[in-house]
Amino acid sequence: MTQEMIRLKRRHFHAYYWEDHLNKRLRIDDYLGDIKKMEAEIWAIAKNINAEKIIIKCRQKDICLLLGLGYILEGWIDHYFHGDDAVFMVKYLHSERKENENWNKEEEILNEVLQSKSKKTVRTKYAKARKASYSDCERLANLYKKTFKVYPVPIHNPFFIKEEMEGGTIYYYIEENGEIISAASAEINNKYKNAELTDCATMPEYRKDGLMKVLLSELEKELCNEGVFTSYSLARALSYGMNKAFFQLDYQYRGRLTKNCYIYDKLESMNVWVKDLSFQ
- pLDDT confidence tier of residue 265, bands split at 50, 70 and 90: confident
Give 128 or 258, the one with higher predicted confidence: 258
34-44 pLDDT, tens digit each = 999 999 999 99
Q: Is the pLDDT of residue 3 over 70?
A: no
Q: Are residues 154 and 40 in the same domain?
A: no
Q: Looking at 83, 98, 113, which one is the last position of a domain?
A: 98
How far apart are alpha carbons 223 and 84 in whole angstroms?
19
Among 21, 30, 27, CA closest to 3: 21
Instruction: Supply the DSSP symbol for 3.
Output: S
- The CA distances from residue 21 to 6, 199, 237, 257, in Å, are 13, 19, 22, 18
Q: Are residues 64 and 186 in the same domain?
A: no
pTM: 0.95
Parallel/antiparallel/unpaired status of strands 72-81 and 84-92: antiparallel
Q: Looking at 62, 82, 98, which one is the last position of a domain?
A: 98
- pLDDT confidence tier of residue 117, bands split at 50, 70 and 90: confident
In a domain, 1, yes or no: no
- Please count the structural domains in the chain: 2
Residue 241 burial (CB count, 10 A): 16
149-179 pLDDT, tens digit each = 999 999 999 999 999 999 999 999 999 999 9
Q: Are residues 256 and 232 in the same domain?
A: yes
- pLDDT confidence tier of residue 124, bands split at 50, 70 and 90: low
Instruction: Supply the DSSP symbol for 114.
Output: H
129-147 pLDDT, tens digit each = 999 999 999 999 999 999 9
Supply the pLDDT for residue 1: 40
Task: Return the CATH number at 90.
Answer: 3.40.630.30
Q: Are residues 248 and 133 in the same domain?
A: yes
Supply the pLDDT for residue 2: 45
Q: Are residues 108 and 179 in the same domain?
A: yes
24-65 pLDDT, tens digit each = 999 999 999 999 999 999 999 999 999 999 999 999 999 999
Q: Looking at 98, 131, 162, which one is the last position of a domain?
A: 98
Q: Are residues 172 and 141 in the same domain?
A: yes
Answer whether 131's CB lies under 8 Å from 170's CB: yes
How far apart are alpha carbons 131 and 218 in whole angstroms?
9
Helix (H) or strand (E) run with residue 221 in it:
helix 211-225
Instruction: Supply the DSSP symbol for 52.
Output: S
Q: Are residues 232 and 246 in the same domain?
A: yes
Supply the pLDDT for residue 128: 87
Supply the pLDDT for residue 4: 73
Q: Are residues 29 and 159 in the same domain?
A: no
- For residues 194-224, one letter each, b for 16 or more C-beta atoms within 10 angstroms of the residue's C-beta and e for the rest, the string is bbbbbbbbbbeebbebbbbbbbbbbbbeebe
> How large is the average pLDDT for residues 97-126?
87
191-227 pLDDT, tens digit each = 999 999 999 999 999 998 999 999 999 999 999 999 9
Q: Is the pLDDT of residue 110 over 90?
A: yes
Specify the 3-state DSSP secondary structure of 239. Answer: coil
Answer whether 22's CB lies under 8 Å from 152's CB: yes
Q: Is the pLDDT of residue 127 over 80?
A: no
Range of the domain at 50: 6-98
Q: Are residues 127 and 80 in the same domain?
A: no
In a domain, 244, yes or no: yes
Q: Are residues 147 and 224 in the same domain?
A: yes
Supply the pLDDT for residue 87: 99
Q: Are residues 42 and 116 in the same domain?
A: no
How far apart are alpha carbons 233 and 271 in whole angstroms?
8
The percent of residues above 70 in pLDDT, for the chain, comes to 95
Residue 107 sits at the vertex; the CA angle it makes with 101 and 111, to the nearest 5 degrees, is 170
Instruction: Supply the DSSP symbol for 174.
Output: E
- pLDDT confidence tier of residue 120, bands split at 50, 70 and 90: low
